[in-house]
Every structure is written in structure tokens, then in C-alpha cells.
Amino acid sequence: MEEPTVADMSITDEHIVVATKTKVSDICQELSKNPEHAILVKKGKDILGVVTARDIFAKMAEGLNATKVKVDKIMRTNILAVQGKTPLSKGLDIMSSTAPDAVIVIDESGDFLGYFSIRDYREATRRLEAHLLMAARLSRSRRAITEKKIEEEDSGGDLLDLLLGSNEGDELEETEVPSMISLD
């Protein structure tokens, strides 16, 4: 049973990608509909930064004029790029140890696949825990079946009987089938 990867999470939602010269006011309408979304700032094929509604409100409290300022002037730039094929356990370790402003998921050639949100992080920890529990159960089951198989082989038993349950003592009793009675 393979461990889930970073790309197995729902990484294509909860974000909007905009160009570096996009005005803050242009993204505010989208953020009003989806305030939890991250605004990923892209130049060419690279994600350079991230802006959230909280970032915009903080800057507006400092006097920012949203109709004039572009997102690249207020974006945070500590972006962690993780390959989509990275196992969740490794990806979560990297994310928690580096504490980036945003986590993006890329393919082997460095192309953007998606955004790993805070919600994805929470879901990933639950999914990884469930995976580890299932893997431990499967390991115990394999070990028990292997041990039982060895016992059955030593006693001349059949593995199929082991897996399906032995039918010893379960012989069907032959019962007399009543003959049909005619009501003519």
C-alpha cells in the first residue's frame, strides 16, 4: 500500500493566479467572494509570491491605495515548491520545518500544478494518519497469515481453508426431501 503524495490532495482549488502587475483592486472582487483564497503572483511560469485578504487589509490599514498598488509590491515571497510525487510524510515534514508563506506543488519539470492550502495541510495530516494505521493493520494481517500458513503447511492444511475458514465439522446433513403431493 503506497503512501499518498502531495499531489493527491485537492491542490487545484483555494487559489487564484495573477500576473505581477495586477492591481490589488482587481483581485478584491474575487476575494470578496472567496476570502480564504490565496492570490499567487506569477511571472512567466514561476510563482514569485502570495497575497491574502489579510495581507491586503493590513496594508490598507497602513494607508495603501488599492486602486494604484500592484500585488507584487505587497506580496510575501517565502514560497516553498514541493514536487507532486513527494510522499505526504516527507512533504508535511518539510512544510512544518520551513514555515513558508505559501506552498506550491510542481511537477518534475518545475511546472505549477497547484497550491497546497492550510486546509490541504490539515486534511493531509488526517489522511496520512489513516494511511499509517491501515498500513500497520495490513502488516499485522500479513504477519499473522504468514505465521498461520507455516503452521498449516506443517500440519498438512490448506491455505485456502485458512483464508476462507475450515469446513471441518460443517458437513451438511442429508435430509429427506418430501415428495410432491398432488391435490387432484
Mean pLDDT for 72-83 is 95
**What pLDDT score was predicted for residue 123?**
93
Mean pLDDT for 166-180 is 52
Task: Return the beta strands (E) in 44-153 as ranges.
Answer: 46-51, 79-83, 102-106, 112-116
CATH number of 6-126: 3.10.580.10
Of the chain, the percentage scoring pLDDT greater than 90 comes to 57
Mean pLDDT for 31-59 is 93
**What pLDDT score was predicted for residue 160?**
58
Residues 83, 25: Cα–Cα separation, whole Å: 32
Whether pLDDT at 82 is above 90: yes
70: closest CA among 83, 86, 58, 56?
A: 56
Which of 175 and 19 is assigned the larger pLDDT? 19
Query: Residues 132-154: pLDDT tens digits?
Result: 888 888 878 777 777 766 766 66
Does an H or E element contain 43, and which? strand 38-43
Confidence of residue 107 (pLDDT cuts 50, 70, 90): very high
Whether pLDDT at 169 is above 70: no
Whether pLDDT at 7 is above 70: yes
**What pLDDT score was predicted for residue 139?**
78
Bridge-based pairing state of the strands 79-83 and 112-116? unpaired
Which of 64 and 183 is assigned the larger pLDDT? 64
CB-neighbour burial class of residue 59 (10 A; exposed 0-12, middle 13-18, buried 19+): middle
Whether pLDDT at 93 is above 90: yes
- 104 contact partners, CB below 8 Å, separation of at least 6: 40, 47, 79, 80, 81, 82, 112, 113, 114, 115, 116
Mean predicted lDDT score pLDDT of the chain: 84
Q: Which three cell numbers stand for residue 141?
A: 494481517
Mean pLDDT for 67-82 is 94
Q: If you search the block for the grid coordinates 497547484, which residue do you land on?
A: 114
Residues 99, 86: Cα–Cα separation, whole Å: 17
Q: What pTM was computed for the model?
A: 0.71
| Domain residue spans of the chain | 6-126
DSSP helix/strand/coil, 115: strand
Mean pLDDT for 28-47 is 92
Taken in order 149, 152, 158, 164, is the CA torsion positive or negative? Answer: negative
